[in-house]
Amino acid sequence: MFTPVAGLIMGVIFGASLVLTGLTNPDKIIGALRLKDFYAIRTVAVFLLVGMLGTLILDLFGAANFSIKPAVILTALIGGALLGTGLGLTGFGPATGLASAASGRLDALVTVIGMIFGAHVYILIYPSVVIPLERILNFGSVTLPQITGASSALWVVPIFAAGSLALFITRSREQQYDEQRMRAGDLGMNEVFPFPLSPKPILREKGLYLKSDCLNAAYVFRQWKNLLFVVMLLCLLLIQGSFWLVSTGQVDIAENSNTEAPAVPGADSIQADLAAAPAKESPSRWLFGFDVTFERLTSIVRIANIILVLTSVLYALIMYFGLGISFKGGLGGLAHICGALYMALIIFVLLLPWQNFFGSITMGATYTPGELARWCTTDIGDTLGMVLFYLRFTGYWALVMLLLLLAQLRSFRWARAIVR
């Protein structure tokens, strides 16, 4: 239990610091490789020096967990060459590729997909190519201090001193440049004027000032809107995915919920949920590192439902505020944002679990796990029942999904209209 949590936390810290330090930007990497932009080089140099010194200190206290890779000179050479080619071509490394895909770069996303293919190629060639190669020039897992017989301090301290000295000597120009930019106010997280061509705001003319202010606000709203959209999309996919997992029999439905379920769909779903919760654990299958049981699916669906309803409220509210801002600031794009607001409201209405309030008269697009269990376990004989079943779980969902995409498209047009 400790390991996944530690991994997740370390990953979050590392990913965040990759973005914070700007190494996720391929321009920085390419600039470094072309020796035009020294930011990345200096950053990585400090990274290495601090890492070395810190590891040495940890080692002195006996707290370092080493994991030394086998030194196979030939494969390291070939691998370095291939990796260098990929790095020079794209400007991403594996870690920075992941991180910049997460910060919205589509080319990085494609690179990540390419990396998955690369892993597959590696698996395919492993028995025939890699194993023979690894026998050549294999020195095993050794470190430089072990080979030379000198203590690691003898290695680290001179390297650290020389590196720091070199960085310090070549610092002057870079630092001046940094300070200039700092004075100009664009190094920190200060405001970057969002639309480069528009004139700087003139303080005397209130209208322009208001307009640029409203533009900034609209940018913030747009960002949050996009985030909420992604969250909603994920939740919808989760819900639909768990429906398919259950209905195709990948996950066994716990038996308690089967027997105690009332006959009328949607009549007493809370009781059915309670019955489903303490169900015994059925034999499990893995999916992305989880053992998927119906019990777990139940909790996932519940959480996704809660998040969905809440985010749909926020989504509609953000559309409303966007409408207000673009009205107040005279930014234009009112028709688009009105359409988007309307659709967001419809989504919200469709998503609410009406079946819990009104019994079987109406239904919402979200379903409770108990309901799913009931629908799946009752025998559906005729075609009509089958059609109803899929309409209720997939058709309804597809409608909401369609509306969500349309709303996002409309609001995207709104954002573009604003920029114009």
Of residues 188-247, which lie at the interface with another protein (CB under 8 A)? 188-189, 192-193, 195-197, 219-220, 223, 226-227
Least distance CB 267 / another protein (angstroms): 39
Instruction: Examine residue 71 and tell whether it contacts another protein (CB under 8 A).
Output: yes
Please choose, out of 60-68, 249-257, 347-355, 385-393, the segment that lies near another protein by the rule CB under 8 A: 60-68
Instruction: Examine residue 87 and tell whether it contacts another protein (CB under 8 A).
Output: yes
Burial of 24 (0-12, 13-18, 19+ CB in 10 A): buried
Burial of 404 (0-12, 13-18, 19+ CB in 10 A): buried
Least distance CB 283 / another protein (angstroms): 16
Query: What is the phi-psi region of residue 249: left when phi exceeds 0, alpha when psi lies from -120 to 50, beta otherwise?
Result: left
Span 117-156, contacts to another protein by CB under 8 A = 117-123, 126-127, 130-131, 133, 139, 141-145, 147, 152, 155-156
- Distance between first and last Cα of the chain: 51
Residue 213: both structure tokens together: 């202010």
Q: Write the DSSP string, 174-196.
A: HHHHHHHHHHHT-SSSPPPPS-T
Least distance CB 254 / another protein (angstroms): 24
Cβ closest to another protein, residue 68 vs residue 162? 68
Instruction: Examine residue 284 and tell whether it contacts another protein (CB under 8 A).
Output: no
Least distance CB 332 / another protein (angstroms): 15
Instruction: Examine residue 180 and tell whether it contacts another protein (CB under 8 A).
Output: no
Cβ closest to another protein, residue 85 vs residue 360? 85
Q: How many Cβ atoms are within 10 Å of 188's Cβ, its own excluded?
A: 8
Residue of 1, 60, 90, 364 that binds another protein (CB under 8 A): 90
The helix/strand/coil state of 265 is coil
List the x/- string, 289-328, binding to another protein by CB under 8 A: x---------------------------------------
Residue of 1, 60, 114, 417 that binds another protein (CB under 8 A): 114
Rg from Cα positions in the chain: 29
Instruction: Examine residue 386 and tell whether it contacts another protein (CB under 8 A).
Output: no
Least distance CB 305 / another protein (angstroms): 22
Residue of 39, 160, 354, 390 that binds another protein (CB under 8 A): 39
Least distance CB 109 / another protein (angstroms): 8
d(CA 396, CA 234): 17
Query: Would the CA dihedral through 70, 74, 78, 80 be positive or negative?
Result: positive
Residue of 60, 161, 166, 187 that binds another protein (CB under 8 A): 187
Cβ–Cβ under 8 Å, residues 259 and 284: no
Residue of 1, 60, 63, 199 that binds another protein (CB under 8 A): 63
d(CA 340, CA 320): 9
Q: How many residues bind another protein (CB under 8 A)?
A: 146
Cβ–Cβ under 8 Å, residues 218 and 325: yes
Cβ–Cβ under 8 Å, residues 294 and 413: no
Instruction: Examine residue 169 and tell whether it contacts another protein (CB under 8 A).
Output: no
Instruction: Examine residue 33 and tell whether it contacts another protein (CB under 8 A).
Output: yes
d(CA 25, CA 105): 9
Residue of 46, 307, 334, 417 that binds another protein (CB under 8 A): 46
d(CA 28, CA 40): 6
